Chain A
Amino acid sequence: VSGGQVVSLGERLRQRRTELGISQAQAARELDVARTAYRLWEMEAAKPAPDRWRLISRWLGISVVALLAADALVDEEEAAQISAAATDFGPPGRWDDASTSIAADFFAQERATIELGLRDGMIQAPRASALYDLLARVQGRAEGAKTHRSRRGEFDKVLPIDPSLPALARASFLVLAAGVPEPILLEGELLTSELVTHAIRRAPAGENVLRLHMVLAETMVRVEVEARTAKTHRPHGSEAWGMTLIMEIASRWGSARKDATNVSWFEIDLPEPGSESFSGADVTDQSSITTASSQPPPGGNGS
């Protein structure tokens, strides 16, 4: 945190990953999180939990304080205050080493280290009490950032049609729905790709926009694509698989045509917040995979 300019955490992660020449999936594995969680960190759509702070700061080659500054959890003055205390505590890295050796969550570790410094005379009482206060503020901010994330949100945009649009739509979905259980997040990402791809394939020649409307509610997430469609279009094999995915995965889905415009949508129900499937969901656990009946598409070898 020298020089005032703070590079955001997402940018730092991206830079470090590029430096290492690895994919988001590999970075996620090195940091022991799901790929989607890591992606959302880079997009600045989600923040890592305190139990990941030390690992991430080590991976980035920066101090935990610099990480907190990058994540906007401490301001410059607070960062300087913590750095000064760490300097009094001992040579660089000593504070983090002391904290890491304590088996507890991040904040308990830090409090224990302050206590240790107090006991051994490396930290004076007034500074210790200032540090305790500061730590409580950081904890409040970190928890606030978590609980503040409302289950409600909306995305509504007219977007230009081009081959990169499905990827853009998927990224938008992930940002909107960040925080819902990982399997639902990934399924919604897939179905969003299907709806948008389908609309692009059916757009009449010369049509260059479609409307993507996504709603995150307490009980479900809904994605709707409104686009003009050609009167006739050449069916292709992939269409049938796209339909299969939507029918198998969505809680509800539909399509309605009004004049030359088609609205296709799907909804996926969300579990109650706090329920087991909500908090315990992990993308790496795909034990619930169901094998659907095979539906070979008509003329799938074609065109």
Chain B
Amino acid sequence: MTMMFEASENGGSVLFLRGELDMSTLPILEAALAPLVARGQPATLDLSELSFIDSMGVGVLVRASLRLSADKACLTLHSPQGIVLKTLTTVGLDAEPNIHIQRCSVRCRSTAEGPGT
């Protein structure tokens, strides 16, 4: 699993996730999320290239959103695809008060350029 920060057009930063998120890759995400959550600003994760997530990954996302809610900030999950979207909706993340799932039928990116450009 790889992860990178990108600047987004509104000045905030987007955390771009690629690969599979499970027990073994969890610590990488937790470490990357910590500064984002600590700022207390709305945070966006780009999931367009995330190919797998299980309940362990869901747990990290929800914990981050709960910390953000203390600062009245939302967590946006951008463009989850296929089985990742199914997992998130099956556990009901789309009904969480401060998680916003931004669906895109195509694999659109949260930033215009995409990572590594």
Contacts and interface: CB of A to CB of B under 8 A. Distances in A.
Interface of A: 23-26, 35, 163-164, 166-167, 170, 186-187, 189-190, 193-194, 197, 200, 236-239, 241-242, 244-245, 248-249, 283-284, 286, 289-296, 300-301
11 contacts: A23-B19, A23-B51, A26-B49, A35-B82, A166-B24, A193-B22, A238-B58, A245-B91, A292-B89, A295-B91, A301-B63
B22 A166 contact: yes
Given A23-B18, A23-B49, A294-B92, A190 B87 contact: yes
Interface of B: 18-20, 22-24, 49, 51-52, 54-56, 58-59, 62-63, 66, 81-83, 85-87, 89-92, 94-96
Contact of B59 (A166, A189, A190, A236): A236
Contact of A249 (B18, B62, B90): B90
A292 B92 contact: yes
A194 B55 contact: yes
Contacts of B22: 166-167, 170, 193, 197
Given A245-B90, A249-B90, A291-B94, A238 B82 contact: no
In the complex, the 9 A-B pairs of residues with the closest C-beta atoms, listed nearest first = A294-B92, A238-B59, A294-B95, A242-B55, A241-B55, A163-B24, A186-B83, A241-B91, A238-B55
Contacts of B90: 244-245, 248-249, 290-292
Nearest to A283: B82
Contacts of B54: 166, 190, 193-194, 197, 242, 245
A300 B59 CA distance: 8
Contacts of A194: 54-55
A237 B95 CA distance: 17
Nearest to B19: A23
A242 to B, nearest CB: 4
